[in-house]
Amino acid sequence: MSKTDEGRRAFLVGAVAGAAAGAGAVATAALVSDSQPPATPEGGLDPLSAAARQGAFLNAADAETVAAIAERIMPGAPGKPGATEAGVLNYIDLALAGAYTDLQEFYRHGLAALETHCRQTYSETFAKLAPAQQDETIASLEDGKVESFTWPAARAFFETLRTHTMEGMFADPVYGGNKDFAGWNLVGFPGVQLIFTPAELESRQAFTRSPVAGLQSKARSV
């Protein structure tokens, strides 16, 4: 399988998973396992894990970095899904190949500057740093204090990564992130609800009416 085919295949895995998410986790799992034979892992990543859903734009090394940054911005913990579990990498990868193609150079330059900084400071790539060192690095980006950055500026790179991580956490699953509504479940957002009743509007309690609904399940039901 050529590199291009690899990319296309990974893209399709992501797209299928994203598209099916609205129908629920069971359908997603069935679709992926039925249609995708296990592929050779690349860069040590399991191609069917959420973190590995990449290949539309990012190469394996850059994907690893983006996944690591996103996970530090929204880290997972038991019962609290983070960026990896939500598939933020898949969201960002698809977005950079689609709606955000104009940000491809921004990412290329930003990721290269980040690697330069990490090698100079820690003699290691960002993805392989300890979490505390990763946090220290992200804090430096946020403060705009990373000399290896010219364009994009370190702060702009941080802000964009934060924004895209939030989009991947909380956008509808059709865009490839928010896997199984991980982000919506984290914060208690019920997704697409066409109607809230007077009692629901006036309730002081958490809103729990199920199901949480995504765009494609709604599209089928309308």
Q: Which residues 160-219 are close enough to bind another protein by CB under 8 A? A: 162-163, 165-167, 169-172, 175, 183-184, 186-189, 192-196, 198, 200-207, 215, 218-219
- Residues 115 and 211: their CA atoms lie apart, in Å, by 43
- Give me the half-sphere count of Cα atoms (radius 13 Å) on the Cβ side of residue 192: 14
Tally of CB atoms within 10 A around 9: 15
Minimal distance, residue 30 CB to another protein, in Å: 25
The whole-angstrom separation of Cα 51 and Cα 48 is 8
Least distance between another protein and beta carbon 215 (Å): 5
Structure tokens at 179: 């896997």
CB 78 within 8 A of CB 71: no
For position 98 contacting another protein by CB under 8 A, the verdict is no
C-beta closer to another protein: residue 15 or 29: 15
Check residue 27 for interaction with another protein (CB under 8 A). Answer: no
Q: ω into residue 211 within 30 of 0, thus cis?
A: yes
Q: Which of 99, 124, 128, 136 binds another protein (CB under 8 A)?
A: 99
**35 binding another protein? (CB under 8 A):** no
Residue 120 to residues 176, 189, 192: CA-CA distances in angstroms? 34, 42, 47
Binding flag, residue 80, another protein (CB under 8 A): yes
Closer by beta carbon to another protein, 124 or else 143: 143
Q: Work out whether 93 is an interface residue with another protein (CB under 8 A).
A: no
Question: Could you tell me how far CA 96 lies from the centroid of its own chain?
Answer: 12
Q: List contacts with another protein (CB under 8 A).
A: 72-75, 77, 80, 82, 99, 102, 135, 138, 142, 162-163, 165-167, 169-172, 175, 183-184, 186-189, 192-196, 198, 200-207, 215, 218-219, 222
